[in-house]
Amino acid sequence: MSGAKNGPKGEPVPPALREKLLEARARLLLRFPFFGYLVAHLEDRVGEHTLDSSSTDGRHVFWSEKYLSSLNNDDAQFVLAHQALHSALAHLSRRAERNKDNWDLAADATVNAILFDAGIKTRRDVVKGDAQKSAEEQYVYADQLQKQKGAKAPIDDHGDWDESKDPNDPEERQLADLWRAVIAQAKQFGSVPKSMQRAIELLEPKRDWRDLLRQGLHFPEDYKWTPTDRRFRDVLLPTLTGEKHRVVIAVDTSGSILGQQLNEFWAELVAILRNNQCEARVLACDAEIQNEWDENQFDPQMLREVRGGGGTSFVPVFDRVAEYATMGWRPEAVVYLTDLDGSFPEQEPDVRTIWVVGPKDAKKTAPFGDVVSVE
């Protein structure tokens, strides 16, 4: 298997060093599950002899055997998480026309600051920036970062990062979609430091709700949490499976929605089920759940069977989602078609939520989840 274009070719990691990486990955999953989940989506490989430290192409971490041998467990955890953040935050392709040396330094300073903010440490002397600034913002202070860097040895190599990549290239879009999906999933397995949350928000400008949905439903690969290594029986590691992705689609059928807006929401719901390969549960709810179907029972003509017209409470849907989880059917996302005029759960549910609203409600906010508008 090879790395990025024109990058270092990779070979399997030797057994002794593989043990070190397995332990580092397992510890990350236990202590910092959000970052551990990100790291789980990068494959370890040994790079060519010209690679002096480590590097990533967004799909792999390439290691120098000598460098990896020199790392203790904390260092290995830090470098793994460092490479995962570069990949997740698209630092490999965001440089544009900026000076490469300064951009590389700004990206490192950003990633290191986020990791230190999260409590992930290293004994290595690394450049640290402001945890509240993006790589683009850090770049403005490149001169200061260069002074801070001094003669410090880099913990990774950015030689394969390519500013000329076309973001519309299918391969690049697939990689970007993969990491957006990984971030969305990782949020379910561990708390996200505020600095990381801000970095994600800066990376994700407001987009069409269908793009947001695709992040949760379209994966190049499927992952399932299962103990895959007998030495780490208490650690859940993601492995490839053939399972479909699961989503709950809720339609607000309260008195304020019935009529033309319900017809428009119903058309969007049909589009979701036609255009995404997923296991779905469809719920119609006003102040309580009025109708419930799975994707096999659902028929577009069922609109005439929808009941409702009462007040609005979003609580029953999320209570039902929690019941699904106890029955072994854990949805990856809830898509709620609504005007957002209703009662929300007192506590944020442990599931990714997309609130889909009409244009007149586009400026409304919700206490959790993404609010997107059907134009």
| Nearest in space to 201 (alpha carbons), one of 120, 127, 117, 133 | 133
Highest mean pLDDT among 128-132, 251-255, 257-261, 265-269: 128-132
In the chain, % helix, strand, coil (3-state, to 5) comes to: 40, 15, 45
What are the Cα distances from residue 340, in Å, to 125, 253, 361, 362, 371?
Answer: 49, 12, 8, 10, 9
DSSP state string for 264-308: HHHHHHHHHHHHS-EEEEEEEESSSEEEEEETTT--GGGGGG---
Comparing 235 with 90, the larger pLDDT belongs to: 90
* pLDDT for 227: 39
Mean pLDDT of 286-312: 73
> pTM higher than 0.85 for the full model?
no
Contact in structure between 187 and 215 (CB atoms under 8 Å):
no
* pLDDT for 2: 34
Task: List, for residues 211-255, the tens digit of each pLDDT value.
Answer: 545 554 443 333 333 334 444 444 444 433 444 668 898 888 887
**Residue 85: pLDDT band with limits 50, 70, 90:** very high
Locate all alpha helices (DSSP H) within the chain, ordered by sequence. Answer: 15-31, 33-39, 65-70, 73-88, 100-118, 135-139, 142-149, 170-186, 194-203, 209-217, 260-275, 315-326
Highest mean pLDDT among 119-123, 252-256, 303-307: 119-123
Q: Which of 59-63, 65-69, 101-105, 156-160 has the lowest mean pLDDT?
A: 156-160
* pLDDT for 131: 87
Q: 3-state DSSP call for residue 353?
A: strand
Mean pLDDT of 325-341: 88
Contact in structure between 314 and 331 (CB atoms under 8 Å):
no
What tokens does 226 get? 């299962």
Count CB neighbours of 206 within 10 A: 11
Angular region, 308: left φ>0, alpha ψ -120 to 50, beta rest: left
Amino acid identity, residue 135? Answer: A
Domains, the chain, ordered by start: 15-204 (no CATH), 223-373 (3.40.50.410)
Count CB neighbours of 70 within 10 A: 12
Amino acid identity, residue 215? Answer: Q
Task: List, for residues 171-220, the tens digit of each pLDDT value.
Answer: 777 788 788 888 888 888 778 888 888 787 766 544 454 554 555 444 33
